[in-house]
């Protein structure tokens, strides 16, 4: 354990990703007991007793300066006077996960049996959850504005893991507060680096009272990821990569500092649509998209398309591009559910090391020694 943590410390010093931004609090807490090495979305601080506080920083995109505090009670301790955040008890026995990535983090800690409710069960890959939904030991609670609060309340959860996609999930938090159900904002989706996403397993570990286990899990993932990344620093040829596909005639591309662009760069590739300015995903014109596509060596994340025929059916012009003709099209659909849910967005949120290994195998097969893709598949 000490070796792994020490290794992470050296890595973070090299890449300059230490710590989280400072943010205000309703109560003056003790020292920071866990300052993330890659994540910018949380920190864990001490209290006067054995309890701790999980501070979620910028819990949704565009929420800079917003902090959500969760007092994690232990040994019967209560939150101090003046605390305005959420209070939970450590080591919950019954939880509801509103995102599939939450399930992956809980499962990695060996606590998946605690999940009694989920959102979007048709799109979840985890075998325990799939079986639980079939046997009704795990219940579907709905999603977005269609939450079934009667079902959710009947599950008697100790806490609900929620997220804010493009803003605060105010309608849901207001209802949960009315029902006296504790909730925790999880912001792995807002991270801009692969290891930043993965490090949220430590936040889950604190909630489930097994942070040392979580730190070891993350340390091993980070060590494998960095070993792969360092191998790619000196590659001479960096293939050009195009991302995504049009949806209702609009082609959105990610921000330059996004999670997937960092993966491309760490895998020895070059992101074609960089503009040096964008902080969020942005639309580009069809004309611009085809210019980029004509330059691409690889094309990744083609929406729901899993074959070239499906892709070309969306736009026959795709068939004329070099990247399609030469077999450079891949999608993260190798581990899809029958309804189209992708395990890439579920367990891949934790397993940054496996995602990077996939990406390297696609962009640099000459360096992959017969590696078999896990999340990705080639469109044929």
Tokens 């760490």 found at:
266
The number of beta carbons lying within 10 Å of the beta carbon of residue 216 is: 17
Span 214-263, pLDDT tens digits: 999 999 999 999 999 999 999 999 999 999 999 888 899 999 999 999 99
Question: Which domains, and CATH codes, for the chain?
Answer: 2-223 (3.40.50.1980), 234-378 (3.40.50.1980)
Cα(234)–Cα(223) distance, integer angstroms: 19
- Counting residues of the chain whose pLDDT is more than 70, the rounded percentage is 92
Cα(253)–Cα(288) distance, integer angstroms: 11
Tokens 């959102």 found at:
119
Quick check: 160 and 70 in contact, CB under 8 A? no
Confidence of residue 212 (pLDDT cuts 50, 70, 90): very high
CA distances 362 to 34, 350, 374, 377, Å, are 35, 20, 11, 9
The b/e string for 222-232 (b: 16+ C-beta within 10 A; e otherwise) is bbbbbebbeeb
The number of beta carbons lying within 10 Å of the beta carbon of residue 272 is: 20
Q: In a 3-state reduction of DSSP, which class is residue 289?
A: helix
Span 91-123, pLDDT tens digits: 999 999 999 999 999 999 999 999 999 999 999
**E strand or H helix at 352, and its extent?**
helix 352-363
Length of the chain, in residues: 380
Cα(180)–Cα(89) distance, integer angstroms: 14
Q: In a 3-state reduction of DSSP, which class is residue 82?
A: coil
Q: What are the φ/ψ torsions at residue 166 (nearest 5 degrees)? A: -120, 10
Structure tokens at 90: 């450590």
pLDDT of residue 25: 58
pLDDT of residue 27: 63
Long-range contacts of 175-178 (CB under 8 A, 24+ apart): 175/147, 175/149
Confidence of residue 292 (pLDDT cuts 50, 70, 90): very high
- pTM of this prediction? 0.92
Cα(135)–Cα(146) distance, integer angstroms: 23
Confidence of residue 64 (pLDDT cuts 50, 70, 90): confident
Strand ranges, E, within the chain = 32-34, 42-46, 52-57, 67-73, 86-89, 95-97, 115-118, 139-140, 159-162, 183-185, 240-243, 251-253, 270-271, 282-284, 298-300, 329-331, 377-378
Structure tokens at 75: 């040994």
Q: Kindly state the average pLDDT of the residues 142-169.
A: 94
The number of beta carbons lying within 10 Å of the beta carbon of residue 25 is: 15
The number of beta carbons lying within 10 Å of the beta carbon of residue 339 is: 10
Cα(276)–Cα(26) distance, integer angstroms: 37
């Amino acid at each position: 354990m000490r070796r792994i943590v020490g290794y992470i410390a050296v890595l973070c010093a090299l890449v300059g990703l230490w710590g989280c931004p400072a943010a205000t609090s309703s109560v003056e807490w003790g020292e920071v007991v866990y300052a993330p090495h890659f994540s910018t979305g949380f920190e864990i601080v001490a209290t006067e007793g054995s309890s701790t506080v999980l501070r979620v920083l910028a819990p949704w995109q565009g929420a800079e300066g917003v902090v959500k505090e969760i007092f994690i009670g232990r040994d019967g301790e209560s939150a101090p006077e003046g605390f305005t955040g959420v209070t939970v008890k450590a080591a919950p026995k019954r939880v509801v996960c509103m995102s599939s990535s939450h399930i992956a983090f809980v499962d990695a800690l060996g606590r998946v049996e605690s999940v009694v409710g989920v959102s979007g069960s048709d799109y979840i890959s985890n075998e325990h959850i799939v079986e639980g939904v079939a046997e009704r030991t795990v219940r579907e609670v709905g999603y977005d504005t269609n939450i079934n609060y009667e079902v959710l309340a009947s599950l008697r959860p100790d806490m609900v893991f929620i997220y804010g996609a493009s803003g605060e999930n105010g309608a849901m938090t207001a209802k949960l507060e009315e029902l006296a159900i504790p909730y925790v904002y999880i912001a792995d989706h807002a991270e801009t680096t692969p290891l930043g996403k993965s490090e949220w397993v430590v936040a889950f570990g604190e909630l489930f009272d097994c942070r040392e286990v979580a730190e070891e899990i993350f340390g091993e993932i980070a060590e494998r990821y960095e070993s792969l990344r360092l191998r790619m620093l000196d590659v001479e040829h960096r293939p050009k990569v195009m991302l995504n596909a049009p949806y209702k005639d609009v082609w959105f591309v990610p921000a330059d500092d996004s999670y997937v662009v960092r993966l491309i760069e760490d895998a020895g590739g070059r992101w074609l649509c960089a503009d040096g300015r964008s902080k969020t995903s942005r639309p580009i014109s069809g004309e611009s998209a085809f210019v980029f596509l004509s330059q691409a060596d690889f094309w990744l994340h083609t929406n729901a398309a899993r074959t070239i025929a499906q892709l070309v059916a969306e736009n026959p012009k795709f068939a004329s591009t070099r990247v399609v003709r030469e077999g450079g099209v891949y999608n993260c659909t190798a581990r899809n559910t029958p309804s189209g849910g992708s395990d890439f967005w579920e367990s891949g949120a934790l397993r940054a090391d496996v995602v990077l290994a996939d990406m390297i195998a696609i962009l640099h097969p000459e360096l992959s020694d017969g590696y078999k893709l896990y999340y990705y598949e080639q469109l044929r």
